[in-house]
Amino acid sequence: MTTVLVVDDDRDLCEALCELCEDEGFTALAAFDAMEALAISERQPVDVVLSDLNMPRMNGIELYTWFSEQATIPMFVLTSTSRPQNWPTDRLFLEKPIDFDRLVQLVRAGT
């Protein structure tokens, strides 16, 4: 079973995304900031990360570097702007509000 780690400091959004993932048959884990996400990923295996970009303490880009390059876990970034500052042009991001059908496709393809 695919485990999806959802990271967003907006609790409502984070929880709604978790529920959506679970309805798709994924195991969903919620983290309200990047530090919490790192802690969870150390405790248990994670297959895909969905993360907000602007968060306190550690931002999505740092988290992205950690998951994609260090831990080699695919990560999809969710943003509220059409193009996040400093975002590498060849990397994918999803703009809020999120089209969940597309998100599911990506998660399945990513795993």
Partner 1 sequence: MRGWTASGFGQMNGVAGLMGVNSRPGTRILWLLVATIVLLSGASTLLSYRYAEQSNDRVTARSLEQIETTAAAVDAFLDQRIGVLQALATTPVIAQGTPREQDDYFARVDLEAVGFDGGLGLVSLDGRMTAFANAESPQSVLDVSDRSYVESVMASGAPQVGEAVVERPDELLTLPIAVPVRLVDGRMSGVLVGVIRLDGNGASSLFRFLTPDVTVVDGAGHVIVEDGTVAKLRSVRDDPTYREMVTATTGVDRDATDLKGEQHMLVSHAAVETGGWMIVSATPRGEAFGDSRGQLLEELVINGLLSVLALGGAWCATRRLDRAAEAAARSSAVSGAQSRVLERIARRHPLDDIVNAVREEFAALFPTDESHDRLKAVEPTDAEVGERGGSGSHPPAPNVDGPEGEATRAAAHLIEIAVEQERSAGEIVRSERRYRSLVEANSAAVWLYDQGRPHNETSPWWREFTGQAPAEVDDLGWLDAVHPDDRDRTREMWKRVIAAGAAFSDTFRVRSATGEYRELEIRGVPTPTADGRAVEWIGTYVDVTEERRQAEALRISEERLRLAMDAAELGAWDWDLVTGAVSWSPVVERHVGLAPGAFGGTIEAVRAFIHPDDRPHVVERARRALELGEAYSAEFRMIRPDGSTRWTRTSGLVIRDWTGKPLRLLGVDVDITEEKERQRERQLFLASVAHDLKNPIAVLKASAQLLQRRTARGLPLDAEEVKARLAVIDANASRLARRLDDLSDLSQLEAGIPVDLHVGRVDLVDIARSCVDSARRASVAHNLRLETEQESIVGEWDATRIERVLDNLISNAIKYSPDGGEIDVRLWSDTVDAYASVADHGIGVPIPEQTAVFHYQRRGSNVGSIAGSGVGLAGAARLVALAGGELSLVPKDGPGATFVVRLPLRPAGEGHA
Q: Which residues bind partner 1 (CB under 8 A)?
A: 9-13, 15-17, 19-20, 23, 32-33, 53-57, 59-60, 78, 80-81, 85, 96-98, 100
Q: Judge contact between 105 and 78, C-beta under 8 A.
A: no
Cβ of residue 7: shortest distance to partner 1, in angstroms? 13
**CA 18 to chain CA mean position, Å:** 11
Closer residue to partner 1, CB minimum distance, 32 or 76: 32
* Dihedral sign computed on CA atoms, order 31, 37, 42, 47: positive
CB of 102 to partner 1, least distance (A): 11
Q: How far is the CB of 63 from partner 1 (least distance, A)?
A: 11
CB atoms within 10 A of CB 19: 13
